[in-house]
Every structure is written in structure tokens, then in C-alpha cells.
Amino acid sequence: MYRHSNSANGISLYTPGFIPEELREQFGNAAELVCVQVPKVYDSCLLRICLVGEQKKHKKRKKGYCDDDKEDEGIVFDPDLRVRVDCSVESIINVRVVGLVPGSFKVILKRPVPGDPDRKIITYKYQLRILYDVVFDDCTISKDNELILRRTETVGPLYCPDTDTIIRESRVDQSGTIHPSTDEDDHIIKLEIIAEILDVQIERNEGKTLDPYDDVCFAVFTVGVFNVVKCELIVQLVIPAFGFCPPPAPCAPLGEPCEVFNAQLPPAFFPPQLDDFISGPGIDC
């Protein structure tokens, strides 16, 4: 939106601080133009991978690409998702992905594409933390067992131009501690993940080992993962502003418990049927 000016004083139509008369109609009731510094997404891509616990016949582990055609049907066999368990395990329940392991996300390599240095092939690593409960054949339950899924992915090419500007700032917290910025503040690679447990199977190999008394069993997890990789740069943008935000409204009091209860609509006592629409509260007795 910013437009360079050819005038000697360098003032542009989009100079922060005021809105020229010829632009008033374009910006409506905006009070002024302001310059803000924000991370701007220059490019991004979506990586979809279906991870399956690696079986006895080890298949070559493939790295992820944004182009799904480069993966064999989007399925990747991962040894981290095949965990040895006691053969007294009856089932595995309540499996959930609880998030990234803190500090595990790291960009390993940003390699420019030959002939196009502004486009990068990005290799990164991360770890997902998975919790699950184990039900044994005597009906006892072992809760919150942990599984760490370690992944290294490669995506690209992404448009990640290099910036000549070096931005440095120091943040001082309430204790007076200074937190200087790092190189990553100038060129940001951001990762957003949504992961879902698709299936868990118990693989039993009773009597298939050399020792007939040494039964071996495994829990085989299947996990679907969406990765959104973004290349961001810190930029300054001119935007219209309508003034400072007004003070917020006072927080509403919670009220007495019975008042809150009596103001609520009655719950649905029966499951809704297909194409049923609730038109209003039920009839009070």
C-alpha cells in the first residue's frame, strides 16, 4: 500500500500522521494513517502426513514435502509409533496429543534453490508429546503413559527473501532482567501443528520368538498430522486508524447462583433427531 513519492521532501500520499483530502473518501471515518511493525507472512504451505508405527518389514522412511504426490499415498512408517508393551495389555484408551515438547521445534537448514536465492528449502525438527492409558486383562489401568514422537520434515520451496535490515531490541521484564533479541527475530519460520490419533492396535507375537516363553507385543499407533509452515519477515505497514481503543466496559458480576440458574434455558433431555431444530425453551411444570 505504501507509495514512494517523487517529490523533493519525500512526503507520500500514504505518509503516516494524516490523511490527504483526496483519500478521505477511500478511508471513510479513519482518523489518521499509522505505521505499524508486524511479522508479515511471505509464503506458507500445508504438509499432511499419516504416520503409522513401523512394522517388522522396515520400509524406507520418507521425509515430508508440501507436494503430496512425492509421498507414497501420504503414508509414512515411523518407528517411534511402535512401542513394546506387556502382553497382558487388553487395550489402549484415551490416546491424545497434548502438544509440542517445549523447545523441540528447530529449523535445521534453510537452503536456497539454485538460480532463485529468494526461495528456500526448509528442514526442521519437532517432537510431539502423546499420552495414553493402558488397560490390562485384570481390569487394572495404567494412566498417562507417555510417548514422544520425533519428526524431521523438509518442505519447500517457500518464498523467503533475505532482508538487509537488522532489527535489534531488548526487552526488560518487571524484575529488570534484559532479554536481547536473536537472529530468528529478523527471519521467522513459524510452525503450526494439528495432530490427531487415528488408530491404536495391539500387535501380539505370542510364541513367534526363539524362546516360546518370551512373548512380544507392541502397541502400534496411527497419527494424522497437519503442519503449516510459514515464512515471516518483520515489516512496517501503513494502515488506517480510527483512534485509540476506548476503555473496556466494566466486567459484569457473576450474580447469585440461583439467579444464573433460573436465567438459563432448560437442557435438551433427549438427543436431537436429524433435521430437528430447537425453537425455544421447554414448558415449565
Mean pLDDT of 121-140: 92
Burial of 171 (0-12, 13-18, 19+ CB in 10 A): exposed
Is pLDDT of 182 > 70? Answer: no
Q: How far is it, in rounded angstroms, from Cα 191 to Cα 125?
A: 10
Q: Which segment of 55-59, 78-82, 127-131, 271-275 scores lowest on mean pLDDT?
A: 55-59
Is pLDDT of 195 > 90? Answer: yes
pTM above threshold 0.85: no
Mean pLDDT of 29-49: 89
- Residue 6: pLDDT band (50, 70, 90) is very low
Q: Would you state the pLDDT for residue 50?
A: 94
Nearest alpha carbon to residue 222 among 49, 50, 55: 50
The three-state (H, E, C) secondary structure of 185-232, written as one string: HCEEEEEEEEEEEEEEEEEECCCCCCCCCCCCEEEEEEEEEEEEEEEE
Asked if 232 and 48 touch (Cβ cutoff 8 Å), the reply is: no
Is pLDDT of 173 > 80? Answer: no
Mean pLDDT of 14-29: 76
Question: Which residues contact residue 53 at a Cβ distance below 8 angstroms, ignoring those fewer than 6 apart?
Answer: 77, 78, 79, 81, 82, 83, 218, 219, 220, 221, 222
- Residue 126: pLDDT band (50, 70, 90) is very high
Percent of the chain with pLDDT over 90: 36
Domain map (residue ranges) of the chain? 42-237
The whole-chain average pLDDT of the chain stands at: 80
Higher pLDDT, 180 or 157: 157
Is pLDDT of 174 > 80? Answer: no
